[in-house]
Amino acid sequence: MRIPSRLGRLLAIGLAAAAVCPSSGLTQETTLSQRIEICASCHGADGNSRAENIPSLAGQPEAFIMDQLIFMREGVRPVEAMTPFVEDLGDDEIIAVAKHFAELPPQASDEPIDPALVERGAALAERLRCASCHLPSLAGQEQIPRLAKQRVDYLNQAMKAYRDNTRKGADTIMSATLFGVSDEDIRALAHYAASR
């Protein structure tokens, strides 16, 4: 049986983490640079993901990254692939990891951007008032994520999960905002945000 490449990568990362500490994946002796290196194996060495459906962390607001790591650690936002990496993260480590990725410059992914979808997405973003929380540049602020230069596939997947109320621990404002928005409109919004 052939394991899909993404699943294979996640299994390899999990096995590598288990080798560091078989009980939880990591130990308190794991250095910050080692933790960041583990993060980089999926989210990109420069914080800009090149992996399908894995979000970029570079340039995300520090408070947003901290919140998400705490939510994952505490089980408020369960993300199975992240559990071994966050379950023993201390608050100081969360702050340091968040600061590291927040300071990295975001870069566009190598995914193709459709100009017609960008134009359509811009009109939709104005109608849905995306800038009121994510800022006109879509750079995000405080606990609100940066959408600009995020991966198209990740944005598409995340917005559908908000709309369909399947994203555990999600912000209900996003679910309400995207309620009733079609798959094609979500795709246009993803292309627009990624192009910013």
Residue 110 domain-assigned (yes or no): no
Give, rounded to a whole angstrom, the gap between the first and last alpha carbons of the chain. 41
Q: Which of 69, 102, 135 lies at the terminal end of a domain, its last residue?
A: 102
35 located within any domain: yes
pLDDT tens digit sequence for 58-69: 999 999 999 999
pLDDT in tens, 158-195: 999 999 999 988 788 999 999 999 999 999 999 999 99
The total domain count for the chain is 2
The Cα-based distances of 49 to 80, 102, 107, 116, 168 in angstroms read: 18, 14, 9, 24, 22
Q: Are 121 and 191 in contact (CB under 8 A)?
A: yes
Is residue 148 over pLDDT 50?
A: yes
Residues 11 and 97 in one domain: yes
Residues 58-111 pLDDT 10s = 999 999 999 999 999 999 999 999 999 999 999 999 999 999 999 999 999 999
Per-residue pLDDT of 127-146, as tens digits, reads 999 999 999 999 999 999 99
CA–CA separation, 196 and 15 (whole Å): 37
Q: Say if residues 88 and 26 touch (Cβ distance below 8 Å).
A: yes
Residue 139 inside a domain? The answer is yes
- Both 121 and 46 in one domain: the answer is no
Euclidean distance between CA atoms 102 and 82, whole angstroms: 19
Q: Quick check: is 39 in a domain?
A: yes
The domain of 141 spans: 115-195
- Domain closes at, from 71, 102, 133: 102
Do 16 and 83 reside in the same domain of the chain? yes
* 77 half-sphere exposure, CB direction, 13 A CA radius: 18
Q: Which two tokens stand for residue 194?
A: 């990624």
Do 88 and 133 belong together in one domain?
no
